[in-house]
Amino acid sequence: MNIEQEVLNLKLQMKKDKEFLWNHPEKGLCEFETSSYIKKRLEEMGYNDINTNIYATGIVATLKGKEEGPCILFRSDMDAVVMDETGRTKHTCGHDSHMTILLSLAKLLIDNKDKIKGTVKLLFQPDEEGDAGARMMVKNGALENPKVDKAFAIHVWSEFKEDEIAIKEGTVMASSDPYDIYVYGKGGHAAMPEKCIDTIYIANKIGIALKEMARLDVAIDEKAIIGATAISGGKTNNVIPDKVFMKGICRTNNNEVRKEMKKKIVETVESIAKEMGGRAEVKFLVEYPVTVNSKEEAKELQELARNVVSNVVTNYQTTTSEDFSYYLEEVPGCMIFVGCTKDKFYPQHNENFTVGENPILIGTQMFYEIAKKYLIK
């Protein structure tokens, strides 16, 4: 890896930031200590245009150069992963590292303020893991006043080794559309199923149909994951319940396919229940669009990344999802994957997932390269 001395000089502060954020994990929309810490750190650096009233615990710090130029947004998520039913939180997705990287960039930028031609927005976003905080940040004007021209985000990523960066043109992360299904029938004695409308049977048929949908109704060159992930109904052996509750999810790598699949899910669920004398309804929950990197920016960043690491991957995409997609629906930009696996592989959200020093240095250098290309002259 190729890290400039300016970045290396920040190692001690990086360690302090990372340790604080790692030790203070907070779930989405409850990032109070996190937000307070970030605001204090930005103020210590000399930032005075800090908007903390945009949405929940979110922060947008703006730095204007002395000359006119583009407005570039750099984003970090803030929330930790809710690990279990107790509500225990832990930074097992790397958001503590993302915040550390963005705070490090903030220092580099303000130290080079006199060289900036344009405007920088540093966006610390709540609730990426839960209810798509990006959607509300965009809705509340994070991309306006001044209007953002390009947006960039880094995600430390366990699928890659340290000293690797992945940047792909086009689709890089899938959509995510979780849904709840309510199946209604007529309960009764299990010994007399002919006098009932069997909600368990209806739910089973729905589950099978949804699983088959992705295989049969999606073009071979596309990707879709559709299915039921939870089912709850009935409490005893000899009673058919009146109602069954199901949960499921739809993921696609194409927004047109996504739109069509959501429509077919509703039609399939309702028609199966109706054919069997029952009734069913589908309620879609929080929605994450497909994350699509703009082609021109992706190509430019691939070249920048080759100055930072030994291996740049240009064809990687995943069926996981990210609400950074909401920003990229409005302005060109890229989601950048920075490898963080060193010795032993642990996937994101695993209890043992951690991020070491090198990915933070690499991520900071990569953001700095972007700033130098578009802003620092």
Q: Which residues have C-beta within 8 Å of that of residue 210, sequence separation ≥ 6?
A: 226, 227, 228, 248, 265, 268, 269
pLDDT at 223 exceeding the cut of 90? no
Question: What average pLDDT does the structure give for the chain?
Answer: 96
Q: What are phi and psi of 317, to 5 degrees?
A: -140, 160
* pTM (whole model) above 0.85: yes
Second-level CATH architecture of 177-284: 2-Layer Sandwich (3.30)
Helical residues (DSSP H) of the chain, grouped into ranges: 5-8, 11-23, 32-45, 95-111, 133-139, 199-216, 255-275, 295-305, 325-328, 357-374
**Position 220 confidence tier, pLDDT thresholds 50, 70, 90:** low
Fold of 5-172+290-374: Aminopeptidase (3.40.630)
pLDDT by residue (tens digit) across 45-56?
999 999 999 999
**Per-residue b/e over 265-285, b at no fewer than 16 CB within 10 Å?**
bbebbbebbeebebebebeee
What is the arithmetic mean of pLDDT over 138-161?
98
d(CA 147, CA 70): 9
What is the arithmetic mean of pLDDT over 182-206?
97
What count of other Cβ atoms lies within 10 Å of the Cβ of residue 45? Answer: 16
From the list 70, 78, 156, the residue with the least C-alpha distance to 123 is 78
The pLDDT value given to residue 55: 98
Percentage of the chain lying above the pLDDT 70 cut = 99
The pLDDT value given to residue 116: 97
The pLDDT value given to residue 224: 86
The pLDDT value given to residue 58: 98
Q: Which residue bears the tokens 């950048």? A: 336
Q: Which of 212-221, 237-246, 312-321 is least confident? A: 212-221
pLDDT at 189 exceeding the cut of 90? yes
pLDDT at 367 exceeding the cut of 90? yes
The pLDDT value given to residue 222: 79
By CB neighbour count within 10 A (0-12 exposed, 13-18 middle, 19+ buried), where does 216 fall? exposed
- The domain spans of the chain are 5-172+290-374, 177-284
pLDDT at 242 exceeding the cut of 90? yes
The pLDDT value given to residue 370: 98
DSSP 31-99: -HHHHHHHHHHHHHHT---EE--SSTT-EEEEEE-SEEEEEEEEEEE-PPEE-STT--EE--SSHHHHH
The pLDDT value given to residue 215: 79
Tokens describing residue 222: 């596309």
pLDDT at 216 exceeding the cut of 90? no
pLDDT by residue (tens digit) across 75-127?
999 999 999 999 999 999 999 999 999 999 999 999 999 999 999 999 999 99
Q: Which of 61-65, 154-158, 181-185, 222-226 is least confident? A: 222-226
- Is residue 258 within 8 A of residue 217, CB to CB? The reply is no
The pLDDT value given to residue 73: 98
d(CA 212, CA 195): 30
**Position 324 confidence tier, pLDDT thresholds 50, 70, 90:** very high
What is the arithmetic mean of pLDDT over 209-227?
83
